[in-house]
Structure 1
Amino acid sequence: MRVLDQRPSKRTRSTRLAEKVTLAAIVAALASAALPAVALAQPNPSDSPSVSPEDCGDVNILAVPGTWETNESADRRVVPGMLAQITGPLEKALTTPPTFPSALSSPATSLAPTTSSVPVSTAAASTATRTASSSTPRPTAASVKVVSEQVPYIAQVGGPIAGVVTGNPITLKESKANGLAALESRASQLAKACPLSKFVVLGYSQGAAVAGDFLSKVGNRQSAIDPSRVLAGALLSDPSRSPSTPDPEADVPVAKPTKLTSVAETMIGPNVTGQGVLGTRDNGMGVLAERVTSFCAPNDSICSLSGTSKAVAAIVPLLNLTPEDLPDYALNKGLELVRNVASANPADIQKAAASVITQMTRLTVAASVSPATLPMELAQVVFASTMLDDVARVVNMPEFDALVSLTHPEELAQQVTQVAAYLLLDAHRSYANYPVDAAGDTATQWVVKWVTSKVQASA
């Protein structure tokens, strides 16, 4: 009986090899189809030639620096100044996954993250349970790709006055508009080229005014960016901060920040009086109201302008003026004065007129009887009479209020303090130092933890 040769024929081996190749191709195709859509988040050069593959992250952080912290030719990849104290720690917290210790006794012992500010997600805990018996430690979860960049813009105030030093007479209004255009342009580029990316928007000082205006447009669906793409927004010293005390003119704020409208941003930390020095946004943050936080340090008059900040209120509008604006500015102020007088309380008008007549008569008599006493009499009119206060109630203009406040010793000291705080910016620079919660976290630390939790919750 002939024993059959058990070795496969060449044709059989070839057939099997072809089958293996075909199977491998099918598996590769299925695996490719099953991969996460990370590749879809990479930019399409034809869509946005200014977006490179490295620019697309799971989370894109757009940081808008404050006045003088950046310029229109700054390196986009380097976040400067105050906001660097948020973006740096955020990148570290989100891109460094927690790991297991070398010896695992139980799943519970493996849940400690590498930094205390990063809570462990449910997915991470599940991974820990599955790998607790493994002899090789592995990360609890894949890290998140975070891309931080600044939004370069002119970032200047002072108009022609600052232009003497900088060579660029741009006003605050023009600078802010330049920043908003730059932020909208970059956000649109990234949103189009990176369809899976989510956004975090940060702003400080003038940059907070820019970032806040952008978030307001997105939240009210007036932007090309869909609100669902925005995970969080944080504003430090926003010049357009919404008031968080029912009476913005109150000398003392209510104990806890209060939302006066449902679309207002959420203030974190000690409450302050007043509102932003540039006035508030009419439409608030829209549907993003609960995703936008705001911080205003005590005595930072840039975000807490109130009735006690009369001199600052008079100074800030001048930062928007150019020589070409002066005729219109003077005309508008004249019309404002006429409207205020026409709508004033008749009793206030009568009292102001009586005060003016009385004091002018006094000066006329002093000038005719004893000219040497005229300077003293004039000082009495300015500092000891109620004439200027009576007129101020009728005029009702911040410029005149600022002038009158300087004639009262107690208000003079207060105004000098307010102006010094505004110009020296001590409180304005304190956001990495002053605590905003019971745990002692500073404003910048709080933002890092809050954004980290928002990113992890959306993962």
Structure 2
Amino acid sequence: MSRTKTAPGTRRSRTRRWLVVALVLIAVIGLLLWILRACAPKPPPPTPPPTPPPTKAQSADCPDVEVVVIPGTWESSARDDPFHPHANPKSLMLRVSSALAQKFPANRARVYTIPYTAQFRNPTNLGDRQADYDVSRRQGYLRTAGHITEVNKRCPITTFVILGFSQGAVIGGDAASNIGNGRGILNPEDEGLVIGVGLIADGRRVADQQNDIGPNPPGVGAEVALGGFRNLVPGITMNGPREGGFGTLRDRVSGICAPGDLICDSPTVRNPLRAVGQLVSAASNPVHALYATPKYWEYNGATATQWMYAWAVGVIDGAPHPKHF
């Protein structure tokens, strides 16, 4: 019995056909798998961790309100006691801060006076050994900002009232401007914790950028008037107006400026060197030094310090009463 032999050409053709079929099947299977993957329901994205609820209570040693007071030039010292300031018993801000400390218990409104150098060297007097204005102002600002940040970290629902006079008003105003414009000290979502800012004789004052109380003179703060000569005198940098003003805090800022007080009511400057000398002497001139009397500023019969005290009392009375544990 004989076998039929398959031609070699026929075997090769059959092999090629099976190879083609196999490749087609692989391609079809791959396509089906791809379609199945594409059409399969995707797993949900990972659930983000839950946002912690807002703090509704804080430690019993936290005050409801922290009153941050920044004295003016020659009214403080770097080593003064923040709770019992005594560097200058005649400090203008003591009239306000002492009265507030007597009015409210510390757990309702704790009064903290920023201790800082509070000096202003006269560049025209070679014998003046005081600290430069830049050095004093920077120290005051860093201590103010650091204190507010520290209190907020320990007492996250304590509210703040900021009060300042003269150089202290520049420092307090700068802190308020940075908070209101989201530039630090507090997180932007915490800017509402600053419930009031009171500034007397602010050297960076621009009329109508705050609630101007009583007489509203047409001039600007000395740092604004001299802002175009920013670094003319070493150690006395004139920063000009505050960028963004007071931002979201604008309606919570109250400013007082007596007409003729060159610190906050400066005219257009034509001779900058002469103006710097006037600026130094302006810190002790009668208009600037007598805000506790009605001689140069009064409103409805109140002196500047009386008005600021009454205003601060109203702000504190209206402040929240957070729970404590």
Place the TM-score, normalised by the shorter chain, in its bin: 0.5 to 0.7
Partner of 1:241: 205
Partner of 1:62: 68
Partner of 2:289: 429
**Matched letter for residue 101 of structure 2:** E
Deviations 1:259-283 (A, max 9, x none): 2xxxx11111112121000012121
Partner of 1:91: 101
Taking a change above 3 Å as real, the CA distance of residues 211 and 278 of structure 1, as seen in their structure-2 partners, is same
Partner of 2:261: 300
User: In structure 1, the residue corresponding to 2:147 is in which secondary structure?
Assistant: helix
User: In structure 2, the residue corresponding to 1:200 is in which secondary structure?
Assistant: strand
User: In structure 2, the residue corresponding to 1:281 is in which secondary structure?
Assistant: coil
Deviations 1:64-93 (A, max 9, x none): 111111121111112451111111222333
**Matched letter for residue 451 of structure 1:** A
Q: Which protein, 1 or 2, shows the higher relative CO under an 8 Å CA cutoff with sep ≥ 6?
A: 2
Partner of 1:74: 80
Give, in angstroms, the shift of residue 286 of structure 1.
0.4
Per the normalisation by structure 1, the TM-score is: 0.48
Larger Rg over CA atoms: 2
Give, in angstroms, the shift of residue 158 of structure 1.
1.6
**Matched letter for residue 235 of structure 1:** L
Taking a change above 3 Å as real, the CA distance of residues 70 and 161 of structure 1, as seen in their structure-2 partners, is farther
Note if contact 1:70-1:154 (Cα within 8 Å) is conserved in structure 2: yes
Distance 2:222 2:63 in 1: 35
Per the normalisation by structure 2, the TM-score is: 0.67
Note if contact 1:269-1:437 (Cα within 8 Å) is conserved in structure 2: yes
Give, in angstroms, the shift of residue 187 of structure 1.
0.9
Q: Which runs of 5+ in 2 are unaligned?
A: 1-55, 225-240, 321-325
Partner of 1:314: 273
Distance 1:291 1:421 in 2: 31
Taking a change above 3 Å as real, the CA distance of residues 316 and 282 of structure 1, as seen in their structure-2 partners, is farther
Note if contact 2:159-2:193 (Cα within 8 Å) is conserved in structure 1: yes
Distance 1:165 1:224 in 2: 34
Partner of 1:395: none
**Matched letter for residue 298 of structure 2:** V
Deviations 1:23-77 (A, max 9, x none): xxxxxxxxxxxxx93xx234xxxxxxxxxx4xx3211111111111112111111
User: In structure 2, the residue corresponding to 1:428 is in which secondary structure?
Assistant: helix
Give, in angstroms, the shift of residue 446 of structure 1.
1.2
Task: For 1:436-447, list aligned pairs within 5 A.
Answer: 436-438=298-300, 440-447=301-308
Deviations 1:1-41 (A, max 9, x none): xxxxxxxxxxxxxxxxxxxxxxxxxxxxxxxxxxx93xx23
Superposition RMSD on alpha carbons, in Å? 2.6
Structure showing the higher strand proportion among its residues: 2
Task: For 1:350-389, list aligned pairs within 5 A.
Answer: none
Structure showing the higher helix proportion among its residues: 1
Partner of 1:392: none
Taking a change above 3 Å as real, the CA distance of residues 315 and 178 of structure 1, as seen in their structure-2 partners, is farther
- Percent identity over the alignment is 28
Q: Which runs of 5+ in 1 are unaligned?
A: 1-35, 43-52, 96-142, 245-258, 319-417
Distance 2:266 2:289 in 1: 17
1:181 pairs, out of 129, 133, 142, with 142
Taking a change above 3 Å as real, the CA distance of residues 421 and 270 of structure 1, as seen in their structure-2 partners, is farther
User: In structure 2, the residue corresponding to 1:70 is in which secondary structure?
Assistant: coil
Deviations 1:353-373 (A, max 9, x none): xxxxxxxxxxxxxxxxxxxxx
Distance 2:141 2:283 in 1: 24
1:452 pairs, out of 299, 313, 316, with 313
